[in-house]
Amino acid sequence: MFFSGGININKQTIFAGVATALITPFDKTNGVDYQCLKRLIEFQIANNTQAIVICGTTGEAPTLGVKEHKKIIDFSVQTARGRIKIIAGCGSNDTRHAVMMSRYAERAGAYGLLSISPYYNRPCEDGLKKHYLEIADSVSLPIILYNVPTRTGVDMSVNLYKSLSSHPNIVGIKEASDSFSKCTRIFEAVGDYLDIYAGNDQSFLGYLALGGKGVISVASNLVPSKMMDIYRYYTSGKKHLAERAFMRMLPFINALTKRVNPVMIKYAMHKAKMCDNRLRSPLLAVKEGDTEAEIIKKALMGDYAYEG
């Protein structure tokens, strides 16, 4: 039997619906473009997104210095002014650093934390457990665990989720593995204790069908209300409309995967005049004339096009 959804016993739900994994815009000097960041946050608020995740994979967190990381958290919280939930990406492959950034985000006023598994180190399961418990013990904020094995080289097991689910500050999972079989086992094992979010836009509808709480989305950088439509239709019982809305979005969602995230979404947003097409090395931007550029242009001409 699959999880019926929405229980999360005695724990705080950070959000239900769509949270945008926000890009970090850069200016001509390769610094953070805070004026653009403000516009992007206001755009998400205006389109009724449920939360914003800053300094995550889509936000190019590995290329942010500590001072920049802290300033983006401060700036985002201050810009939001409580109008939207700010979830701070504070993960690291150094547990001490992850604890330090998590504590900083709490002091800055973040609503919750997204904590990615340590990348490159490839710790054993006991090491992963110790890492996450040290973070969870260091703060009082609710934490979403982020499992993305293609990025980190480690895959959190269902048994590890079960073990961590008893911690009061660990409230959710962003699961970005490609195994649907594993996903069903996660829902069966911990669905009553942890909110489960799709970590890939392609999985959004499938996760809702299993009882998931929503999605942490890349596509919603550009089309937040269209991603929210899928959630609203599904949770209001209009599943056929949710399926139709999802299928209309799918060509754009698939286009965003043609290069590693956030290369494609930044190019799409640049074409929509939302930000400059700038990434930090070692990522390279899509150029005019690239095959991927033509794919995005075609997607932007569809009925899932930019809604600004």
Asked about 129 being catalytic, the answer comes back as no
What letter represents residue 115's amino acid?
S
- Are 41 and 24 spatial neighbours (Cβ–Cβ below 8 Å)? no
Q: Which residues contact 29 (CB under 8 A, 6 or more apart)?
A: none
Give the burial class of 270: count Cβ atoms within 10 A of its Cβ; 0-12 exposed, 13-18 middle, 19 or more buried.
middle
C-alpha to C-alpha distance for 190 and 154, rounded to whole angstroms: 20
Question: Does 21 score more than 90 pLDDT?
Answer: yes
213 is catalytic: no
Q: Under 8 Å CB-to-CB from 100, ≥6 apart: which residues? A: none
On whether residue 244 sits in a domain, the answer given is: no
Q: In this structure, are strands 195-198 and 214-217 parallel, antiparallel, or unpaired?
A: parallel
141 in a domain, yes or no? yes
83-120, pLDDT tens digit by residue? Answer: 999 999 999 999 999 999 999 999 999 999 999 999 99
> Distance between CA 209 and CA 35 in Å, rounded?
39
Residue 267 is assigned to a structural domain of this protein: no
Domain of residue 70, residue span: 17-236
Per cent of the chain over pLDDT 70 is 94
CATH number at residue 200: 3.20.20.70
Angle at 223 between CA 222 and CA 225, to 5 degrees: 140
Q: What is the mean pLDDT of the chain?
A: 93
Residue pair 33/242 in contact by the 8 Å Cβ criterion: no
Among residues 70, 174, 226, 266, which one is catalytic?
174
User: Which of 104, 132, 146, 233 is the catalytic position?
Assistant: 146
DSSP characters over 187-242: HHHHTTTSEEEESSGGGHHHHHHHT--EEEESGGGT-HHHHHHHHHHHHTT-HHHH
**Cα distance between residue 266 and residue 274, in whole Å:** 9
Q: Answer yes or no: is 303 within a domain.
A: no
Q: Does residue 18 surpass a pLDDT of 70?
A: yes
Domain count, the chain: 1
Q: Is the pLDDT of residue 130 over 50?
A: yes
Answer whether residue 245 is part of any domain: no
